[in-house]
Amino acid sequence: FPCDVAAGRSAVPPSSVDKLRPGDIAVVAALGDSLTAGNGAAATNIFQVYTENRGVSWSIGGQGTWREFLTLPNILKVFNPNIIGYSLGDSLSHETKSQFNTAEIGAMARDLPFMARELVKRMKQDKRVDIKNDWKIITILIGSNDFCVDICYRDTSKTPERHRNSLLRTLDILIENLPRTLVNLVITPNVGNILPNFKRLPPLCWITHRTECPCILGSRFQNKLKYFISIIEDCQKVEMEIAQHPKYQTDDFAVVAQPFTLNITFPEYVNSNGERLTDISYLSEDCFHFSQKGYARAANSLWNNMMEPVGFKSTNWLNEFQLIECPTDEHPYIFTNRNSHFR
C-alpha cells in the first residue's frame, strides 16, 4: 500500500476523535441505499443488477484485499487487519454476511433512522464489539431515490426540511448509542446534473434510466427539472450544515462531510468517430448503479476526502489509483472539523 502503514496506528487507542488514526478504527459500518448495498457491481446482465454485491461496496465491502477490490474497509485493513463489520460476498441486508451494512435497495432519507436503530442493535448484540472502547466509522450516503422517484410526487418545497429531520433523527440515534464514532456523511450527488448529461448510452439504459429515475428523466417533469436541481442543491447544503452542527462534534463523536460527490462528473472518452461518450465501464448494466470499477473510484475518493482537511476537500472524483492520499507526520489523523481548525 502506498502509505506508511506504521504511522497509521496509535500506540494506545486515543480518547479523542480528533486524534484518530486509520489503524485505530476497530469497526466499520454503513447506512444507505442500493449504492451502498452494492447492487449490480458484478452484474453481467440487466437481471443481475438486483443482486446485492455487498462484499465489493465502496464504503463497507471487505471481500479480498485492496489490490483486488478497492474499498474503504480494504484500505483500513492495511492499517488494522483485525477490523470488523465489513460485508462479504452477496447478501441481503438482514443476512449474516452483510454484517454492519444496513443499507437497503430503494431506501430514502426517511428510512435512515430505522437503519441506524438496526445497526445499533446489531453492534450491541455482537460479542466482538466493545461498544464503549472500540472506535467505529460509519459511512452514510442517501438521497438518490428521494430525488429520482419521490421529489416529483410529494410536496417538493418541503424536501430539504424532511431531509434535515431524517438526518438529525439518525445522528441522534447514533450519538446516543455509539460512543467513539466518526460518521462520514457523504454529500448526496445531484442526480439532476448528472444523469441528463450522460452521452450516447446503450438503448437499454435509456429505458432503465426512465424507470429508475422518472422524476429527473421522465418527459412529463422536464419543465420542473431546474427547480428539482435547485431543491437537490438545498439538500446538499443541509448536509453540509448538519456536518458542522456543534451537537455532533464532541470528544468521542464527530460528523464530517465528505464532499467528493458534491460536483461529481462522469468520465468521458472520444470514440473512433470523434464522438464524446460517457465511460460506462464505471457503471453497472443499467447505467445507473456502479460497477466494481466505479466503486473502486468512489472508495479512493472517499479515502482521499478523509485525508483532506475540512474546507479543503476535493468535490469531484479522480481516476482510481491516480492519487492515494496518506496520513503525514505533521497530520497523522483523520481530519475532523475540530482538528482541521474549521469553524
Alpha-carbon distance 68 to 269, whole Å?
A: 25
Residue 193's nearest CA partner among 161, 236, 135 is 236
34 a catalytic residue: yes
Q: List the catalytic residue out of 33, 57, 87, 289.
A: 289
- Three-state SS string across 158-194, please? HHHHHHHHHHHHHHHHHHHHCCCEEEEEECCCCHHHH
**Pairing between strand 253-258 and 135-141?**
unpaired
Using an 8 Å Cβ cutoff, are 182 and 334 in contact? yes
Residue found under cell 467505529: 136
Q: List the catalytic residue out of 18, 24, 33, 34.
A: 34
Which residues, 6 or more positions from 324, have their beta carbon under 8 angstroms from its beta carbon?
1, 2, 3, 300, 303, 304
146 a catalytic residue: yes
Q: Bridge partners of 25?
A: 135
Positions annotated as catalytic residues are: 34, 146, 289
